[in-house]
């Protein structure tokens, strides 16, 4: 169902969208991926160009969490040692291993990550390179343009 929806949308807009095939490919992969809701997370827009991903990781320590950026893929993994469960009579806090994936646009940069009071914060900022910022294109003659 999701696949046919993306195919329909892509078919309708592709004549007008140059270079967006990769974007739609990424969206299709995300829509078809089966990620769990664990751990719960927020995505917060802090300012026009700054965002924070907040994951609730109670019971995890810094050594248990790995944050990696590979291309446009942000992958967060949590692995708790089994000895952390020793002596528990009741475990009400979820503390299972997890992998959470996010796809970032090309202009997003990870500013850092911090663990505080059971929350993992990942700072993200949109950096627009000079060549991508709006600019005026000066008109010239056709012969100068085409040689």
Give me the CATH number covering residue 90: 2.60.40.790
pLDDT, one tens digit for every residue, the chain (147 residues): 455 666 777 677 766 666 666 666 666 666 666 667 889 999 999 999 999 999 999 889 999 999 999 888 899 999 987 776 777 788 777 778 999 988 888 889 999 999 999 999 999 999 888 888 888 988 988 888 887
Distance CA 139, CA 53 (A): 44
Q: Which domain holds residue 18?
A: 1-34
User: Residue 143: is it exposed, middle or buried by C-beta count within 10 angstroms (0-12/13-18/19+)?
Assistant: exposed
- How many CA atoms, within 13 angstroms, populate the side-chain half-sphere of residue 59? 18
In total, how many domains does the chain have?
2
∠ Cα 103 105 108 (to 5°)? 105
30 shares its domain with 48: no
Any domain includes 49 = yes
- Ranges of H-type helices in the chain: 2-13, 21-32, 142-146
């Amino acid at each position: 169902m999701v696949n046919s929806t993306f195919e329909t949308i892509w078919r309708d807009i592709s004549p007008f969208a140059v270079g967006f095939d990769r974007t739609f490919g990424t969206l299709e992969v995300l829509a078809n991926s089966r990620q769990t809701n664990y751990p719960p997370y927020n995505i917060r827009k802090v300012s026009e160009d700054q965002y924070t991903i907040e994951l609730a990781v109670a019971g995890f320590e810094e050594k248990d969490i790995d944050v990696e950026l590979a291309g446009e893929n942000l992958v967060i993994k949590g692995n708790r040692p089994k000895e952390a469960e020793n002596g528990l009579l009741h475990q009400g806090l979820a503390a299972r291993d997890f992998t959470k994936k996010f796809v970032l646009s090309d202009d997003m940069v990870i500013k850092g990550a911090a663990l505080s009071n059971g929350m993992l914060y990942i700072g993200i900022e949109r950096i627009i390179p000079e060549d991508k910022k709006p600019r005026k294109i000066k008109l010239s003659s056709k012969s100068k343009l085409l040689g």
